[in-house]
Amino acid sequence: MAIGAIEKMGNRTATSWQAVLSHFPKLRYVVSDLARGLIKGVQLSGNLLHQGDLFHFLREVGRTTQQLERRLGQVLKEETDAWDKWCAGQIYTPTLENTLAKADTLLVQMEQYYQAIERLSDAFWPMTDEGRLLTEKQAKLILAQVIQRLSPLGDALELANLVKQVRKAQTHCLTYQREISYQLGRLVATLPETLLIPKNQFLRLAIEDVCLRYALMQGAKVHPQYLALWETLWSLGDHLATFGSLVRQVEKILYTPKRASSLVESFNSKLRTVQYVKKHVSQEYLWLLALKHNIEPFAHGKRLGHSPFELLGINLGTNDWVDLVRTYQP
């Protein structure tokens, strides 16, 4: 991916973010964190689909879980110490019973917490274990169930902020499903006119194939549905090859939905190191960093030997950013 905008700004207001997004007039889908200025900037930029970044959301869930597990570890240690002291006659039985009751209560609460958190991932994956596409309505219902399970634990486990984050995710983090629908819909136009069945039905069969095979991998008992699907598919005859190609395209869409800005976070982590070492980073220096990244070929991975600009069809005549800067005449 090429870096399209790397701007040094004195603030993070909606106007500033709108200025960055204005560089991309054909942009239609944005994944970002949920900072207020950024949300408003996306809204000001037109009819953009805005997906809340799962990177930050799930990191917050992870931090909360780690804090609770540290607390649980301390309580279990207190329980062990209480038993040792009781056996040594250093504490009375009521003190031991209070310690045991505290540990038992926290264990029950943690079990309820884990059950709630395990449901989170079901809302952010486009296929269900039953072999169907997950709808936005179903995803919101899952998050509502998570909130319902977490709310009674809010005071005891200090989960008010996490519950707030899950509520926010209901509004901002399920847009990826609309993008999936858009991408799947575009496949219809690529299908040949000679199909024996309507194009939309052909696409639905491909989606069903991908979803059922996913369910089978999860251990679901959907073999009858899958066999019934292929009884229908045999009638396609010569179009089975077309069907196989369509299935691969559907798989790519469903297995790689864009829900997190991890790539941006990776770049930011490297940029912060540069800022720490250099102390003062000018806008001109940021532009040089962007140029270096965009023009140098990748050293590994599936893009080995190709630069971001080359992959976008941009030819500047050289892959050496230093030579390009030296020969540039303003």
Question: Do 69 and 147 reside in the same domain of the chain?
Answer: yes
Residue 251 lies in a domain: yes
Is the overall model pTM greater than 0.95, yes or no? no
In a domain, 271, yes or no: no
Task: Tell me: do 15 and 112 sit in the same domain.
Answer: no
Assess whether 78 and 45 both reside in one domain.
Answer: no
Cβ of 157: how many Cβ atoms within 10 Å?
19
Q: What is the pLDDT of residue 272?
A: 82
Final residue in a domain of this structure, among 130, 148, 172:
172
Structural domain range at position 164: 54-172
Are 182 and 153 in the same domain? Answer: no
Q: How far apart are CA 118 and CA 169, in angstroms?
A: 15
pLDDT tens track, the chain, 330 positions = 778 777 777 788 999 899 888 888 889 999 998 889 999 999 999 889 999 999 989 999 999 999 999 999 999 999 999 999 999 999 999 999 999 999 999 999 999 999 999 999 999 999 999 999 999 999 999 999 999 999 999 999 999 999 999 999 999 999 999 999 999 999 999 999 988 889 999 999 999 999 999 999 999 999 999 999 999 888 887 888 999 999 999 999 999 999 998 878 887 888 888 888 887 888 888 888 888 889 989 888 888 899 999 998 888 888 888 888 888 766
pLDDT at residue 258, as a whole number: 92
What does the block give as tokens for 147? Answer: 């909130």
Give strand ranges (E) for the chain. Answer: 29-32, 49-52
Q: Note whether 233 and 124 are same-domain residues.
A: no
Domain boundary among 146, 172, 198: 172
At which residue do the structure tokens 């993070």 appear? 12
Residue 115 maps to a domain: yes
Residues 6+ apart with CB under 8 A from 111: none
- Same domain, residue pair 84 and 192: no
Dihedral over Cα of 13, 16, 22, 23: its sign: negative
Sign of CA dihedral 27, 31, 32, 36: positive
Structure token pair of residue 173? 């983090």
CB neighbours of 142 closer than 8 A, spacing ≥ 6?
Answer: 119, 120, 122, 123
- Cβ density class 188-198: b for 16+ within 10 Å, e for less: eeebeeeeeee
Split into its structural domains, the chain has a count of 3
Domain shared by 181 and 145, yes or no: no
| Residue 330 included in any domain | no
Residues 114 and 140 in one domain: yes
Q: Which among 193, 225, 255 is the end of a domain?
A: 255
